[in-house]
Structure 1
C-alpha cells in the first residue's frame, strides 16, 4: 500500500501540472509532440504534460512606439519622424507559427514603411496632412502583417522634427503669409467703405432733408471737440443760388 501511495501521489501531482487557466483575452496555441494541434480557448483547460506544450497569446490591443527615423522628404528636406502603432492579434496560430517575434517584426515593418512613405511625401503635405500620411502607413503595415495574424488598428505620427535652418525659413514664410492676409483684409475693408460712402453720397444728394440732418450731425460733432475752429454753416439754398448765377 505504501509503495502504491509513493507512486500514485507523484503521478497525480505531475498530472495536475497540465491544468491551465486561460483568461478571456487569451488564446493558447497548443503543440503535441512538436506539431500544431489547435487553439486553446478561455477557461480551465488541460494539456498533457511532456507530450503537449502551449504558448499563450494576448488578444488585447497593444501600443508599439516606432523609434525616431531620419528620412528625406520628396522635396529633399531632412526630417526626423516618430510614431506610435496600435495593433492586436487576430489569428493566434499565425502569430506564433508564421513569425518568430511578432512584436519586433511589426515594429521593424512600421519603421521601414514610415521612412518609405515620408520619402514619397513633400514637406508641406507631411505637415498639413498628417492624418492621411498616418493612414497610408497604417494600410501598408496592416497589409504586410496580415499573414502573421496581426491587425493594425491605427498609426499616429507623433513628432516631425526639422533642421534649425528649415524652422527659420518656415517661420519667415508664416510671417509673410500673415502680413499678406492683413494687407488683403485692409484693402477689402477700404473697398467696402468706399462703396458704402458712394451709396451714402447718392442717397443724400437725392434727399435734401437727409442732407440737412447729416450737416447738423457733423456740426454737432465739431462743436463737441475742444478746439478753436470756427465753422460757417451756410444754408444749401444760398449755395445753390450762387451756383445758378454762375451758370
Structure 2
C-alpha cells in the first residue's frame, strides 16, 4: 500500500531521500512506496521558508525552488527592513533569509548601520516598530545640540527629535541650554589691601552663544566660576576696606567688563553682574558699629547746638523788639497771662477795685524811660 501525501494550493513540499534534499513539490497528490526512504516536509507559502536544523544554502541549488523564493542576504553591518505587499513585516539582522513569493510580493530596504543616521526612505511611522534597534535623542526648544560619531563632531542639531541606528558607530549628543543662566558665588573669602578678610556674595548672569567653544572647555561651569573668583580678587585686593565700602557700587561694572573680555574664549555672553552682600568679620563689624554710633552722636549734638543757637537768637530778636515797642511788650504780657489763666481753675479777688485794676497791680507795669 502506497503512502499518500497531499500538498494544498497554499503549500509546497520538500522531498527528501534518506535525509538528503531531492527537489521541491508543487500542489498535488503524491504516493510513495511503503518502505521507501522518501519523506516530504510541507511548507506554508504564506510564511518564511525555513527547514528546522538545516541550512538554507542546502536548498538554493534547486533552480526550480529558487524561482518561487525571494532571497535576502543581510551582511553583518546591515539591517534590512522586510515588507510584504508594501507593508512592513519585520526587521532582519545578519543572515540569509528566504520567502515564498507565490502569494505575496516581498521587498527590502537595506540599511548600512555603519552610518547611524536614518535615511529619508525610512518612513517615520515605522519608528515605533523599530525601537529595539534605534536610539533616540531630543533637543529641547531652548537648547542646541552637538552630534558626535565615535567622538568626532558631525554637526550642530537644532531643537527636535533625532533617531539613529544602534550599531558599530557610537552616537553621542551633547546639549547646551541657551537660556540665560545664573552663577552664584556665596561666602567667597577675599583679603583687602589692608589685610581685612571679607566674605562676598556675588552673582552674574550669562548665556551660551557658541556651544562648540563651550564644549571644548572641560568643566565649563567650574572654569567660569574660577574666572569670576580671580576677577573679584583682583579688584578687592587693590583696595582698602574703607575704599571698598565706598566704591562697592563699582564692583559690578568692573567685574562685568573683565568677564566680557573673556566671553569670546568661553563661547558665552555675560549679561549682568552684581554684588549681593559684603560680610565683615565679627571684630571689624563691632568697630564699624562703634564708629557709626559715634558719628551719629556727633551729628545729633551738632543738630542740638544748632537748634539751641537758633532758639537763643530768636529770643534775643524778640527781646529787642519788645524793648523798642511798648505795645508789643504789653501784648506779650497778655499772651503769658492767657497761658497762666489756662492753668487756673478759679480766680479769687479781694479788696477794692475792678478786675482790670487788680490784674494791672499784679503785673506791676513800670515804664522804663529811654535815655
Q: TM-score range by the shorter chain?
A: 0.7 to 0.9
Is 1:91–2:196 an aligned residue pair? no
CA contact (8 A) 1:106 1:145 kept: no
Q: Which residue does 1:65 correspond to in 2?
A: 184
CA contact (8 A) 1:33 1:52 kept: yes
CA contact (8 A) 2:137 2:173 kept: no
User: How many angstroms apart in 2 are the aligned matches of 1:33 and 1:164?
Assistant: 56
Q: RCO higher in 1 or 2 (8 Å CA, sep ≥ 6)?
A: 1
Q: Give the alignment's TM-score, normalised by structure 2.
A: 0.55
User: How many angstroms apart in 1 are the aligned matches of 2:315 and 2:306?
Assistant: 14
Is 1:233–2:363 an aligned residue pair? yes
Offset of 1:223 from its aligned partner? 4.5
User: How many angstroms apart in 2 are the aligned matches of 1:204 and 1:169?
Assistant: 53
Gaps of 5+ in 1: none
Q: Which residue does 1:218 correspond to in 2?
A: 336
User: How many angstroms apart in 2 are the aligned matches of 1:48 and 1:122?
Assistant: 63
Q: Which residue does 1:119 correspond to in 2?
A: 237
User: How many angstroms apart in 1 are the aligned matches of 2:219 and 2:148?
Assistant: 18
Offset of 1:104 from its aligned partner? 1.1
> Cα deviation per residue 1:71-110 (whole Å; 9 max; x = unaligned)?
211232122223233221122222113x122211111111
Gaps of 5+ in 2: 1-46, 49-70, 82-90, 93-110, 119-126, 128-133, 345-360
The change in CA–CA distance for 1:25 and 1:211 in structure 2 (over 3 A counts) is same
Q: Which residue does 2:283 correspond to in 1?
A: 165
Is 1:177–2:300 an aligned residue pair? no
Offset of 1:114 from its aligned partner? 1.6
CA contact (8 A) 2:231 2:255 kept: yes
User: How many angstroms apart in 2 are the aligned matches of 1:48 and 1:90?
Assistant: 30
| Largest Rg, 1 or 2 | 2
Matched pairs, number = 237
Q: Which residue does 1:77 correspond to in 2?
A: 196
Q: Give the alignment's TM-score, normalised by structure 1.
A: 0.78
Offset of 1:200 from its aligned partner? 2.8
User: How many angstroms apart in 2 are the aligned matches of 1:221 and 1:80?
Assistant: 62
Secondary structure of the corresponding residue to residue 7 of structure 1: strand
User: How many angstroms apart in 1 are the aligned matches of 2:343 and 2:262?
Assistant: 79
The change in CA–CA distance for 1:7 and 1:36 in structure 2 (over 3 A counts) is closer
Offset of 1:20 from its aligned partner? 4.2
- Aligned-residue CA RMSD in angstroms? 3.3
CA contact (8 A) 2:148 2:154 kept: yes
Offset of 1:127 from its aligned partner? 3.2
The change in CA–CA distance for 1:67 and 1:221 in structure 2 (over 3 A counts) is closer
